[in-house]
Copies of this chain bind each other. A is one copy, B any other.
Amino acid sequence: MSLLFERRGQGASDRKLSIVQRLVSWWISHARQATASLGDLWRTPGPSLMTMLVLGFSLSLPAAFYLVSKNGAQVADKWSSPAQISVFLKKSVALEQVEQLVADLQTWQQIQQVDWYSKDDALIEFKETSGFGNALNYLDDNPLPDVLVIEPTAAHQTTSAAKLLVEALEELAPVSLVKLDIQWLERLHAIVAVVEDTFIALATLLCLSVILVVGNTIRLSILSRKTEIEVMKLVGATDQFIQRPFLYAGIWYGVFGAFLSWIVTTILLWWIESALNHLTRLYDYPISLQGLLPSESLFMVIIASGMGLLGSWLSVRQHIRAIEPTS
Contact = CB atoms under 8 A, between A and B. Distances in A.
Interface string A48-78: 0011011001101100100000000000000
B47 A268 contact: no
A139 interface: yes
A50 to B, nearest CB: 5
Contacts of A264: 205
Contacts of A122: 132
Given A201-B268, A283-B187, A143 B147 contact: no
Contact of A206 (B57, B176, B197): B57
A143 B133 contact: no
A54 B212 contact: yes
Contacts of A23: none
Nearest to A65: B202
A209 B86 contact: no
A221 B221 CA distance: 8
Contacts of A141: 143
A180 B105 CA distance: 44
Contact of A136 (B86, B143, B206): B143
A135 interface: yes
A224 B227 contact: no
Interface residues of A, number: 72
A22 to B, nearest CB: 37
A133 B147 CA distance: 12
Interface string A105-143: 000000000000000001000100011111110111101
A28 interface: no
Interface in A212-260: 212-213, 215-217, 219-221, 223-224, 226-227
Contact of A131 (B181, B191, B224, B283): B181
Interface stretch (A30-38, A269-277, A296-304): A269-277
A88 interface: yes
Nearest to A267: B201
Given A53-B212, A224-B224, 14 more contacts: A57-B205, A58-B209, A60-B205, A61-B61, A61-B205, A122-B132, A131-B179, A135-B179, A186-B282, A187-B283, A197-B275, A201-B268, A213-B213, A220-B220
Interface of A: 47, 50-51, 53-54, 57-58, 60-61, 64, 86, 88, 90-91, 122, 126, 130-136, 138-141, 143-145, 147, 176-177, 179, 181, 184, 186-187, 190-191, 193-194, 197-198, 201-202, 205-206, 208-209, 212-213, 215-217, 219-221, 223-224, 226-227, 264, 268, 271-272, 275-276, 278-279, 282-283
